[in-house]
Structure 1
Amino acid sequence: MSRFRYRALTENGDVVHGTISAATAKDVIDRIEYLRLLPIETVEEKTASPVTRDMLAWFGGPTQADVTTFTRDLALLLKAGARLEDSLELLAGDADIGRLRPIVNRLRSSILAGESLADALAHHPLQFPAMYLALVRVGEASGSLDHVLEVLGAERARADAMRRKLSDAMQYPLFVLAAASLVMLFFFLVVLPQFSA
């Protein structure tokens, strides 16, 4: 399946845009018309290689903390009664989610194109792992997406805190190990040769 960018007109004359996964451009046009939109343009996106996607995740991509903040904020908005598209639109402008904002914009476009939230999240496997997708799918099917996202956000926050605690606890032993290694290296390269001479 390929991904297509599209632009279309609503019944009010507003221009909307987004992305749709489909086999052909005709399938994209059919889906746009099914949503009662008038297609203006469809362009096939060139997908990045897996290596490029991995590099983007490591250099300048969203952090796990951004995903956790997004999850908790989305749960709060849904619990307050906001619609999913409106919640994503609000979050796309939120500075708290950092570098995740472009992805949130793409999620909103996918949902406006008729995809479920789980399907839209599946396009971003580096940020949203399989377990995350499975829980969101269950939340959508059961009608309790806000509750599932709330529990998922709390669990991610707890895991992030545990990860930070573990890395903080490992810093001192690693420092001692590095210092001891340098002392031993100095001993073998400088002191020991003097004794042998």
Structure 2
Amino acid sequence: MPLFTYTARDRSGQRVTGTIEAENYDAAGAMLEAKGYLPISLDMRASSPDVLPKMPDLLTPRVHADDMIMFTFQFSTLIGAGIPILSCLRVLSRQIRNTTLKRIIEQAARDIEGGAALSDSLAKHPRVFSPIYINMIRAGEASGTLHEMFVRLGQMIEHDVEIHQQIRAALRYPFIVIVTLLAACGILLTFVLPRFVAIFQKFSLTLPLPTRILIMLNSFVQEHGLVLAVCVVTAVLV
């Protein structure tokens, strides 16, 4: 999106200069008038640089829930103290350690400095900020309750984290039982059953159907054991 450099006068007649990001000259002029500025000059500059470079998803550090909770509550504290949004973002960009979130905050500060809304800037990163997060910020901007909205967002993220932890705790025991059973079956098929197969073959006995099925399963595991192990590990990790 183009970046415009402007010179204008505010309501008190003071001369002000700055930059604003807009789709075209008309949109830039409308944004200045909405701020109460009377444009004197408006020049298009180069497109605003993207502080967050395009990186492959696998190489981009993930933004964890703890990072989002810290950012959300710290922002709510700063904005509740009457600090301007731009100053809040600049302070948080120096405190956040997660590199991905840090770059997003720095880019948001540049966007706001250019005249964009906070919600519009954060909406550029849907992998980090959910639609609910963005819509609640928009509601806070429209109603003047940005502080309250960020408090609710922080509480909502904390609640989601607690639910996920409870689900993991509930699934931990069944997962351990299933893994133990699979390991026991693997040991039986790999080490115990082959010895009985050798005995049965030696005496040429007619085996029951369940036993023959187990022998066939044992042969399959021995031939494709590595592939099965890779599939099981992949399923567990995914």
User: So what's the TM-score if we normalise by structure 1?
Assistant: 0.74
Q: 1:97 to 1:154 in 2, by over 3 A?
A: farther
The one-letter code matched in structure 2 to 1:148 is: M
| Bigger Rg, structure 1 or 2 | 2
CA distance in 1, matches of 2:78, 2:174: 43
Q: CA deviation at 1:17?
A: 8.4
1:42 equivalent in structure 2: 46
Higher mean alpha-carbon deviation, 82-91 vs 170-179, is at 170-179
- 2:58 alignment partner, one of 32, 40, 55: 55
1:93 equivalent in structure 2: 94
Q: CA deviation at 1:172?
A: 3.5
The one-letter code matched in structure 1 to 2:193 is: L
Q: CA deviation at 1:153?
A: 0.6
SS in structure 2 at match of 1:61:
coil
CA distance in 2, matches of 1:39, 1:124: 29
The one-letter code matched in structure 2 to 1:165 is: Q
Are the equivalent residues in 2 in contact too, given 1:69–1:96 (CA < 8 A)?
A: no
Q: CA RMSD in A?
A: 3.6
1:186 corresponds to 2:187: yes
Q: CA deviation at 1:175?
A: 2.5
2:145 equivalent in structure 1: 144
User: So what's the TM-score if we normalise by structure 2?
Assistant: 0.62
CA distance in 2, matches of 1:61, 1:10: 40
SS in structure 1 at match of 2:149:
helix
1:157 corresponds to 2:158: yes
SS in structure 2 at match of 1:93:
helix
CA distance in 1, matches of 2:78, 2:53: 32
Q: CA deviation at 1:61?
A: 2.7
SS in structure 1 at match of 2:108:
helix
2:13 equivalent in structure 1: none
Q: Gaps (5+ residues) in structure 1? A: none
- Written as runs of structure 1 = structure 2, the 5 A alignment for 1:67-146 is 67-95=68-96, 99-146=100-147
SS in structure 1 at match of 2:134:
helix
CA distance in 2, matches of 1:61, 1:39: 38
SS in structure 1 at match of 2:46:
strand
Q: Higher relative CO (CA 8 A, sep ≥ 6), structure 1 or 2?
A: 1
The one-letter code matched in structure 1 to 2:76 is: A
Cα deviation 1:40-94 (Å, max 9, x = unaligned): 9514769988xx66435xx513222212211111111111111111111110101
The one-letter code matched in structure 2 to 1:176 is: V
The one-letter code matched in structure 2 to 1:84 is: I
Q: 1:44 to 1:99 in 2, by over 3 A?
A: closer
Are the equivalent residues in 2 in contact too, given 1:67–1:97 (CA < 8 A)?
A: no
Q: 1:55 to 1:96 in 2, by over 3 A?
A: closer
Q: How many residues align?
A: 182
Q: Gaps (5+ residues) in structure 2? A: 9-17, 33-38, 199-238
CA distance in 2, matches of 1:77, 1:45: 27
Higher mean alpha-carbon deviation, 172-181 vs 148-157, is at 172-181
Q: 1:165 to 1:185 in 2, by over 3 A?
A: same
Q: 1:150 to 1:174 in 2, by over 3 A?
A: same
